[in-house]
Amino acid sequence: MAYEKELELALLAVQRAAILTKSVYSSHSKGTLTKTDSSPVTIGDFGAQALIIASIKSAFPNDEVVGEEDADDLRANPDLKNLVWDLVQQAKLSDPAAQDKIGGPIKSADDMLKALDGGASEGGNKGRIWALDPIDGTKGFLRGGQYAVCLALMVDGVPTVGVIGCPNLPVDDKAPLDSKIGTDADDKEGKGVLFGAVKGQGATSRALTDGKLEAPKTITMSPLPDVAQATFCESVEAGHSSHGDQADIARKLGITKASVRMDSQAKYCSIARGAGDLYLRLPTSKTYQEKIWDHAAGVVLVQEAGGEVTDAYGKQLNFGIGRTLKENKGIVAAPKAVHAKVIEVVKEVLSAKKD
């Protein structure tokens, strides 16, 4: 199968990084800093990015990576660097063969910084470029909500392989998607899912482990004969997507069920496995550009589970023009059969707002 090696590498690399993020999640000190855009970053984000880029470079040294983080803060703060280096050394897959497949341990703190800085690609529509979000939903990670470790391979600007680890989602995909799953998460017994998809080959989920990969299970979106019956997912943070516009859209579609608010690409994962149906992300500002690492993996997953993902105007997402989706505004993900109907209503709501 095409991209078999890339998928396995991505699944194992995300699984190893999740060992690190879980250890930070359950520790009271997360080494949180505030970035220049006022968003938070933790020692978990830095460690997970270093581990995943080291894995990619061990298997595919010529591939580029667009990663959210870089090593500047760690170079400026040796104590913080040492904290991350300790975590990185501790995070290893329990199965030696699996650990070998992703290049073994990072050899030194300097190599760790180099790996962390390996995510500086400017992106583009030529060749193989990975999009990496080491912790998506950092605010959820800090709050005790959902978060996700997200990795996608883009080929000539098209998301082609997508892998997402969700340490706080229930493994059982029949678990009802209620607000508790979104905002009162934990990574204890029965939690932790690893999603994977390759363009043209379908989407899967399996339990997240700390060693070998479990056997995959095919996932699909729920059939949704009547859009009024939909459950829709949206961001927790009101600053990240417009809850007001999303409520108007839901009302116009006849949706009566309450939305499920959850952080991170766990929203894409949930609808891809039929726990929830729609993901609405309406812009809150005219200037914010969505980052490719916040969407690339989730888009492959939803497309391969039978869904369609566009921007809020129904325009195809263009992942091949840099680190952001600057040609697009907002995100709408829905089962193929109802996507056009949802976009029609989204456009109505957006045009009613025009000044």
Interaction between residue 308 and ligand PPS (CB under 6 A): no
- Does position 21 interact with ligand PPS (CB under 6 A)? The reply is no
Closest chain position to ligand PPS (CB): 237
Taking each helix axis from N to C terminus, what angle separates 4-25 and 78-90, rounded to the nearest 10 degrees? 120
Which range of residues in 38-46, 73-81, 105-113, 282-290 is near Mg ion by CB under 5 A? 38-46
| Contacted entry of ligand PPS, Mg ion, none for residue 48, CB cut-off 5 to 8 Å set by kind | none
Distance CA 172, CA 174 (A): 5
Rounded distance between C-alpha atoms, residue 17 and residue 21, angstroms: 6
Q: Supply the angle between the helices 43-59 and 78-90 in degrees, to the nearest 10.
A: 60
Q: Which of 6, 64, 245, 263 binds ligand PPS (CB under 6 A)?
A: 263
Q: Which entry of ligand PPS, Mg ion, none binds 306, CB below 5 to 8 A by partner kind?
A: none
The site string for ligand PPS over 29-68 (x = CB under 6 A, - otherwise) reads ----------x----------------------------x
Contact letters (x/-) for ligand PPS, 65-104, by CB under 6 A? ---x------------------------------------
Alpha carbon distance 336, 256 (integer Å): 21
DSSP string, 168-215: EEES-TTS---HHHHHS---STTEEEEEEEETTTEEEEEE--SSSPPP
Q: Give which of 316, 355, 334 is closest to 345, Cα–Cα.
A: 334
CB atoms within 10 A of CB 305: 25
Q: Active site residue: 21, 42, 45, 204, which one?
A: 45
**List 73, 133, 245, 248, residue binding Mg ion (CB under 5 A):** 133
d(CA 339, CA 175): 25
Q: Tokens for 212, please give them.
A: 């070998």
Contacts (CB under 5 A) with Mg ion, residues 50-109: 68
Among 137, 298, 307, 320, binds ligand PPS (CB under 6 A): 137
**Shortest distance, CB of residue 249 to Mg ion, whole angstroms?**
23
Pair 243, 329: CB distance under 8 Å = no
Which stretches of the chain bind Mg ion, using CB under 5 A?
39, 68, 133, 135-136, 138, 294
Which stretches of the chain bind ligand PPS, using CB under 6 A?
39, 68, 133, 136-140, 235-237, 239-240, 263-264, 284-285, 288, 291, 294
